[in-house]
Chains A and B, each alone.
Chain A
Amino acid sequence: MKAMNIVNAVNDALDIKLTEDKSVVVYGEDVGYEGGVFRVTEGLQQKHGVERVFDSPLAESGIAGTAVGMAAAGLRPVVEMQFCGFIYPAFNQIISHVTRMHNRSRGKYKMPIVIRLPYGGGINALEHHSESMEAIFAHIPGLKVVVPSTPHDAKGLLISAIESDDPVLFLEPKRIYRAIKQEVSEEKFSVPIGKAKVLSQGTDVTVVAYGAMIREVQKAMVMAKEAGYSVELIDLRTIYPLDKETITASVKKTGRIIFVGEEPRSFGVGSEIIALANEEAFLHLEAPPKRVAAFDVIVPYPRGEHHYMITPEKIFYEIERTIKF
């Protein structure tokens, strides 16, 4: 065991896969020599060589598009999009080829591609550095979308993602890259894609969240506990494929559900979770399902971000309203 934050855990997972599988290559902007702007890939080029861990030209479509070719030719590329807001030039490659080549070739060409994407707000960054647009990607048939909230899960999920024969968008909550340290095994282990985790058992309300919002919910739960409420917290860990069973079972037990996310509220992951609760647990509901999510606005520049970010108080406020409904 070793104390790791999410940056260390992702680095460790990459290191393990690079070591054991020669078909794994890691590339993107600044990923090689410098080790990435967040230093997630630090030391990997020095250890595994410039042919396996390298800087690509500054072109996101080029990064995603070349990954398609590499995957077709038998490699397992792990590419980094430097910031969530810069992935859009690659969007065409993702929606037209990364997610379609397997279907279009009727299984002749698998696409074991991992696209790593630091996402989310709360770090006082420039425009285009704070978005949470995961719903756009979860909506694309052919893609799996994964979001760890802890160093342990970051390592285990990334190993699963690299080993997946399907393309995976691996979202990294950059706000908590270094915020949490945890004892993580230095051995290889994996966390399965498509399995949510019940972080706290409770009886009054189910809260579903992921990524950096988990910590905010946990802070709200301290307030909730003081107020005498019992909250069940589910860390989604994978957005698609959604772990319907875990969510449904929990809602049937608590009778109430709140989704917490930093995404724009409408047409989002939260909307899907609420639809699920209605479709699968309608008669168990004792209060209207609730989405606690960002406004449907552009993420404000840093000075306005405090208006926008979801806070523990806001989450607690909605927990109380839902329970008292």
Chain B
Amino acid sequence: MFDQFDPADNKMLQVIDNNGKVISKELMPKLSDDEMLKLYKDMLFVRTLDHMIVSYQRQGRVYTYPPNYGQEAIGVAAGAVLRHDDWLVPAFRELGAWLAKGATMKDVFMFNMGFEEGTKFAGANHMLPSSVPIASQLLHAAGIGYAVKYEKKDEVVMAFVGDGGTSEGDFHEALNFAGVWKVPVIFVVQNNQYAISVPVKMQTASINMAIKSKAYGIKGIKVDGNDIFAMLAAFRYAHEYARKESQAVLIEAITYRKGAHTTSDDPTKYRTTDEEKEWDLKDPLRRMKLFLEKKKLWSDAEEEKLVEEYNKEIDRQFIETEQTVSYPLEDVFKYTYAEMPQDLRDQQIEHEKFLQWKNARK
């Protein structure tokens, strides 16, 4: 597969076209009808959850949120290949992978409501917290890869970054370390065309991002990130390769961030509606839905009903989260160190004395 889609030829792995028609049968991943439907439903769930969180943000019930809208296929396909013991090193726009690893809606809500508890992902085995300093997390993936290899474990590491992140030094150091160390790490660049407002052509003079793999002696492949079958085919192949050969892979997923960078961003300032319309035709859910409809596996009526169910469940859990969260003072002090220094204890006690005084004044 890596030879067939050599990044130097600027080829892109694609399985279905914009109308959901299969254009390369031999690359279509083996999937039962139920498995296909699950992929679609997972994307639909991510999209519904994403829209709901944005609306909660507009209502002032969560803080800043980075929408996944338009990029659902990548995270969902990643989630479909990650095993229980595989590692997920997230950036912040691959919700489908988070949920597949065991992150809960409550985690996601709490994260965006402003609680560290929301980046613990207590129920998600081998998943790091989401990383805000761009591309810095990729080095963690290389380090985990070293540990996996050192301990001779059958585990694969998958790490995410955006197109802007490929300009950071840590991106290059991570690929270089992983290449030299020969560790099973899949680096995924979600090339959604913009780093906030800066278009991808201002990030690099390379013909694509996947070609950067060559400089580090690892395999790379450019994939249609809005084609869930292509993403799944690439992830399955890369996963097998990383595992069997103990080697790193760079996957560039071509996609489009249909929403804003975060809820604080206004994309109308830096892109045109013509461009947005063009990408609407490539929308990952639209394409898969057309495919499923042709196979008579899905209909508008079913979709409407399911989205309604999703909305209800999401809202129920959101309200439950809103009503149960709290942030006690001790949590401010408790986690800075595994073993809390006496001085921090003293600072807490000092502050509690102030609080007692304050309460007594009332």
Per-residue B-contact encoding for A156-182, CB less than 8 Å = 1, 0 else: 000000001110000000000000000
**Residue pair B173, A57 in contact (C-beta under 8 Å):** yes
Partner of B338, one of A96, A165, A240, A241: A165
Looking across the interface, which residue of chain B has its beta carbon closest to that of A97?
B136
With A61-B169, A66-B177, A166-B339 in contact, is A72–B121 under 8 Å at CB? no
Is A96 in contact with B143, judged by CB distance below 8 angstroms? no
| A104 adjacent to B129 (CB under 8 Å) | yes
Report the stretch among B6-14, B144-152, B199-207 that lies at the interface.
B144-152
B246 at the interface (CB under 8 A from A): no
* A281 part of interface (Cβ distance < 8 Å): no
Stretch at the interface among A106-114, A196-204, A225-233, A299-307: A106-114
For A166, list chain B residues within 8 Å (CB): 337-339
Chain A residues with CB under 8 A of B120 = 105-108
> Are B119's CB and A62's CB within 8 A?
no
Instruction: Say whether chain B's binding surface is mostly helix, strand, loop, or mixed.
Output: helix
Kindly report which residue of chain A lies nearest to residue B155, judged by CB atoms.
A73
Q: How many residues on the A side are at the interface (Cβ–Cβ under 8 A)?
A: 47
Contact A70 to B143, CB < 8 A, known contacts A96-B133, A104-B129, A105-B129: yes
B147 and A102 contact, CB distance less than 8 A: no
Interface residues of B in 100-152 (CB under 8 A from A): 116-117, 119-122, 128-129, 131, 133, 136-148, 150-151
Is A142 located at the chain interface by the 8 A CB criterion?
Answer: yes
The verdict on A223 contacting chain B, using a C-beta distance below 8 Å, is no
In the assembled complex, how far is the CB of residue B285 from the closest CB belonging to chain A, in whole angstroms?
32
A70: contacting residue among B129, B147, B342, B344, CB under 8 A: B147
**CB of B60 closer than 8 Å to a CB of A:** no
Q: Is there an interface contact between A104 and B116, defined as CB atoms closer than 8 Å?
A: yes
Find chain A residues with CB under 8 A from B322 CB.
Answer: none
Cα–Cα distance between A64 and B145 once the two chains are bound (Å): 15
Q: In the complex, A320 Cα to B167 Cα: how many Å?
A: 57
B335 touching A59 by the CB < 8 A rule? no
B122: which A residues are within 8 A, CB to CB?
106, 108
Instruction: Report whether B140 and A103 are in contact in the complex, using a CB–CB cutoff of 8 Å.
Output: no
Interchain CB contact under 8 A, B116 and A72: no
Given A72-B144, A244-B343; A51-B139 close (CB under 8 Å): no
Instruction: Report if B196 contacts A (CB, 8 A).
Output: no
Residues of A within 8 A of B139 (CB): 61-62, 64-66, 68-69, 93
Q: Which of B117, B143, B151, B341 has the most CB of A within 10 A?
A: B143
Q: Which residues of B contact A109 (CB under 8 A)?
A: 128-129
Q: Does B359 contact A (CB under 8 A)?
A: no
Binary B-proximity of A25-39 (CB < 8 A = 1, otherwise 0): 100000000000000
Given contacts A66-B146, A102-B337, 6 further A-B contacts (CB under 8 A): A65-B174, A69-B141, A73-B144, A92-B170, A101-B128, A244-B343
Interface residues of A (CB under 8 A from B): 25, 51, 56-57, 59, 61-62, 64-75, 77, 89, 92-93, 96-97, 101-111, 141-142, 144, 164-166, 194, 240-242, 244
